[in-house]
Amino acid sequence: MKTFQDYLDTINQAIAAIPYPDAPRQLYAPIEYHMALGGKRVRPVLTLMACDAFGGDSSLALNAALGIEMFHNFTLLHDDVMDNADVRRGKTTVHRRWNDNTAILSGDTMLTIATQYIVRCANWPVMDLFNKTAIEIYEGQQWDMDYENRSDVTVDEYVNMIRLKTSVLLGCALKTGALIAGADDQQADLLYQAGVNMGLAFQLRDDVLDVWGDPVTFGKEIGGDIMNNKKTFLLINAMQLAQGDDADELRHWLNDPYATRDNKVAGVTALYERLGVRQLAEDAIAHYNDLAIAAFNQANIPDEAKNAFIGLANRLSGRTF
Amino acid sequence: MKTFQDYLDTINQAIAAIPYPDAPRQLYAPIEYHMALGGKRVRPVLTLMACDAFGGDSSLALNAALGIEMFHNFTLLHDDVMDNADVRRGKTTVHRRWNDNTAILSGDTMLTIATQYIVRCANWPVMDLFNKTAIEIYEGQQWDMDYENRSDVTVDEYVNMIRLKTSVLLGCALKTGALIAGADDQQADLLYQAGVNMGLAFQLRDDVLDVWGDPVTFGKEIGGDIMNNKKTFLLINAMQLAQGDDADELRHWLNDPYATRDNKVAGVTALYERLGVRQLAEDAIAHYNDLAIAAFNQANIPDEAKNAFIGLANRLSGRTF
């Protein structure tokens, strides 16, 4: 049976072999640059795994896997413009290395290239799922931006936002592989549900790692969300739970423009621990991971495929990277 | 037989009836706003006309027509960010009325909505043509931006750029209608060629109107291209033809940051007339319009359809609006 690394090698080789036109160079060079930055490649691997799990020929799912990974990278190019981000995967972002216009236009091009890969599967339900998922991801990004200007975001709203912005693409990746293998709708939907719950656990782990992660393995500076007052699962829960002095202290950290990074990150982290929101996040991660595992277990796929999916879900939800 | 106005009414009613989701409002309101700004709606009308011309049921082509118009409007949203444009069709542009991030994300959403409309035609060749055309349009936009920084752009390069940026979508609109009506590849390609040549004449007319148009009927301030030193068909030819004093004067207008608008526009316009580039442009417009008419005449469609297309080509290439 193929390992995660086998699938990853297949994906990375296929990405390296994408034949970009020679010109206009300013349009295609940023796409090649960004696709070569790497990343976990979780989504395309899930597509190949799901296709194999239902007895399909995963080489047929390779176009869909590439389309989904290209789509994901398109969203990163545009998100980095919208967030004015300098660094992605330890390298300079496209809009910073070139400029905003390049990131916009090369991103548009990636979206259409992604669609072309999906078209090659010649499967209308896969095409419909891809477009529906894309719309949900834009909606998630819009909610994320809307929430920056609101102080009353609820946990349910936040979870729905990360479901749209992050999780549905994992569901889409799994369901796409299942559909290409010829799985029926009910079976494909089980994998979709598994993917969405995996995605929720994955994103909540991201929130936790931003506070308690090891910068070496996580690959990012710790405390970025805290410094940006980003309304994560942790901050939203903390804002609801903090009373009296704790509430005053939290308000102070959120509003003091002169707080040093070290002081603010240490202060908010201590508050999070005192208020128990770290444990709330761990409980939520375990909850969504359990739902993902239950869905994989219900699917009509061989035990070794179930075990591979469950191993991956456990690894991603408990990850330190 | 239906008139242009009949088709236009059908398109405008269908656009007004597009069912946008209620939320997130910040994502969909800019799309509704921009789609309601109007415009000539030439592309979707061409799709319906082509479908009828080949004996198809143009109501079946309506989804494709909406997809192509939505796609065209998506490119305008992103172009207006890239060009930092304030006004579009006499109204404030989306990126100015909201902000750049809104124009980027709502534009992305429009591209996927456009693709969803194309998917509804359930026709793989139409889907392939749409994606191929989209890529060509991005390439055209990239060349257009590249040419801003080059002083040695040739007429051929310019014509190829406007072919990609503007003309192929008119070809795509016509061919799509033909394909949906069941026309064979050769017939559909004749309409594609007609559309591309129509588009070249259309864009060259735009260059001419920017200098010699009537601001009331054209709907834009005259001389915008001159003020921006935009390398249009006129300027590229003028740069090649100007000798001696004319060359010195042209260099002066291109490089004097203190020239007033009135003086610069009047000076460059006079040079264009003296150098004969206005006539060169009129000749080129007539040439591409003739090619369009010849392609329509070759197509195996009823005479009244040919006449309607030729009438439209003549109207667009000779337009004052």
Whether A220 shows a pLDDT value over 80: the answer reads no
DSSP run (H or E) holding B185: helix B185-212
Q: Does B111 touch chain A (CB under 8 A)?
A: yes
Separation of alpha carbons A107 and A110, rounded Å: 5
In chain A, alpha helices (H): 4-16, 25-35, 42-53, 62-82, 94-97, 100-119, 124-148, 155-162, 168-180, 185-212, 215-218, 224-227, 233-241, 244-255, 261-275, 277-298, 303-317
Cβ contacts of A124 on chain B, cutoff 8 Å: 119, 122
Closest residue to B116, CB basis, from A100, A107, A131: A131
Q: What is the mean pLDDT of residues A161-184?
A: 98
Q: What is the mean pLDDT of residues B291-300?
A: 98
Q: What is the rounded average pLDDT for all residues in chain A? A: 96
User: Residue A2's pLDDT is what?
Assistant: 94
Left, alpha or beta for A276 (phi > 0: left; psi -120 to 50: alpha)?
Answer: left
Instruction: Please answer yes or no on whether A108 and B105 come within 8 Å at the CB atom.
Output: no
User: Residue B321's pLDDT is what?
Assistant: 79
Under 8 Å between Cβ of A104 and A78: yes
Under 8 Å between Cβ of A171 and A203: no
Token pair 């034949």 in the structure block, residue: A19
Cβ contacts of B112 on chain A, cutoff 8 Å: 111, 131, 134-135, 138
Closest residue to A82, CB basis, from B104, B111, B145: B104
**Per-residue pLDDT tens over the stretch A190-218:** 999 999 999 999 999 999 999 999 988 88
Distance of CA B287 to the CA centre of its chain: 18
First-last CA distance in chain B: 25
Q: What is the mean pLDDT of residues B118-142?
A: 97
Q: Does A85 touch chain B (CB under 8 A)?
A: no
User: Residue B46's pLDDT is what?
Assistant: 98
Q: Does B105 touch chain A (CB under 8 A)?
A: yes
Confidence of residue A1 (pLDDT cuts 50, 70, 90): confident
Under 8 Å between Cβ of B37 and B71: no
Number of A/B CB contacts below 8 angstroms equals 96
Q: What is the DSSP string of B233-288?
A: HHHHHHHHH--HHHHHHHHHHHH-TT--HHHHHHHHHHHHHHHTHHHHHHHHHHHH
B92 three-class SS: strand
User: Residue B59's pLDDT is what?
Assistant: 87
Q: Which residue of B has its CA nearest to A135?
A: B109
User: Residue B90's pLDDT is what?
Assistant: 87
Cβ contacts of A117 on chain B, cutoff 8 Å: none
Whether B107 shows a pLDDT value over 80: the answer reads yes
Whether B220 shows a pLDDT value over 80: the answer reads no
**Per-residue pLDDT tens over the stretch B304-313:** 999 999 999 9
Q: What is the mean pLDDT of residues A76-94?
A: 94
Whether A219 shows a pLDDT value over 80: the answer reads no
Instruction: Please answer yes or no on whether A111 and B116 come within 8 Å at the CB atom.
Output: no
Q: What is the mean pLDDT of residues B84-101?
A: 94
Tokens of A111: 């979206």
Could you tell me which of A309, A313, A310, A314 has the C-alpha nearest to residue A49? Answer: A309
Phi, psi of A88 (to 5 degrees): -140, 120
Separation of alpha carbons B4 and B49, rounded Å: 9
User: Residue B274's pLDDT is what?
Assistant: 97
Q: What is the mean pLDDT of residues B118-125?
A: 96
Token pair 């894309």 in the structure block, residue: A134
Q: What is the mean pLDDT of residues B126-135?
A: 98
First-last CA distance in chain A: 25
Instruction: Please answer yes or no on whether A105 and B81 come within 8 Å at the CB atom.
Output: no
**Per-residue pLDDT tens over the stretch B13-62:** 999 999 999 999 999 999 999 999 999 999 999 999 999 999 999 988 99
Q: What is the ipTM of this complex?
A: 0.96
Instruction: Please answer yes or no on whether A143 and B24 come within 8 Å at the CB atom.
Output: yes
Query: DSSP character for A220?
Result: S
User: Residue B191's pLDDT is what?
Assistant: 98
Q: Does B115 touch chain A (CB under 8 A)?
A: yes
Instruction: Please answer yes or no on whether B100 and A100 come within 8 Å at the CB atom.
Output: yes
Please report, as a single letter, which amino acid is at residue B118.
I
User: Residue B219's pLDDT is what?
Assistant: 74
Closest residue to B24, CB basis, from A109, A122, A146: A146
Q: Which residue of B has its CA nearest to A142?
A: B27
Contact residues for B154 (Cβ-Cβ < 8 A; gap 6+):
B236
Q: pTM score, two decimals?
A: 0.97
R_g over Cα of chain B: 20
Separation of alpha carbons B75 and B161, rounded Å: 15
**Per-residue pLDDT tens over the stretch A30-39:** 999 999 999 9
Angle at B136 between CA A137 and CA B171, to 5 degrees: 110
Whether B288 shows a pLDDT value over 90: the answer reads yes
Confidence of residue A310 (pLDDT cuts 50, 70, 90): very high
Could you tell me which of A53, A44, A54 has the C-alpha nearest to residue A18? Answer: A44
Q: What is the mean pLDDT of residues A253-272?
A: 95
Q: Which residue of A has its CA nearest to B125?
A: A119
Question: Which of the residues A31, A137, A142, A157 would you substitute to probe the B interface, choosing the one with the greatest number of B C-beta atoms within 10 Å?
Answer: A142
Cβ contacts of A141 on chain B, cutoff 8 Å: 105
Q: What is the mean pLDDT of residues B152-173?
A: 98
Which percentage of chain B shows pLDDT scores above 90?
A: 93
Q: Which residue of A has its CA nearest to B28?
A: A139
User: Residue A319's pLDDT is what?
Assistant: 85
A18 three-class SS: coil
Instruction: Please answer yes or no on whether B138 and A101 come within 8 Å at the CB atom.
Output: no
**Per-residue pLDDT tens over the stretch B222-259:** 899 999 999 999 999 999 999 999 999 999 999 999 99
Peptide bond into A125 cis (omega under 30): no
DSSP run (H or E) holding A88: strand A87-88
Q: What is the rounded average pLDDT for all residues in chain B? A: 96
- The strand pairing partners of B91, in sequence order, are B88
Instruction: Tell me the HSE value of A274 on the side-chain side, using a 13 A CA sphere.
Output: 14
Token pair 């060749």 in the structure block, residue: B125
Separation of alpha carbons A195 and A174, rounded Å: 6
Under 8 Å between Cβ of A80 and A95: yes
Using a CB cutoff of 8 Å and minimum separation of 24, what contacts does A306-314 make?
A308/A1, A308/A4, A308/A49, A308/A53, A309/A49, A309/A53, A309/A194, A312/A4, A312/A42, A312/A46, A312/A49, A313/A194, A313/A198, A313/A201, A313/A289, A314/A289
Task: Return the sign of the alpha-carbon dihedral for residues A27, A32, A37, A43.
Answer: positive
Q: Does A143 touch chain B (CB under 8 A)?
A: yes
Tokens of B178: 């033909």
Confidence of residue B215 (pLDDT cuts 50, 70, 90): confident
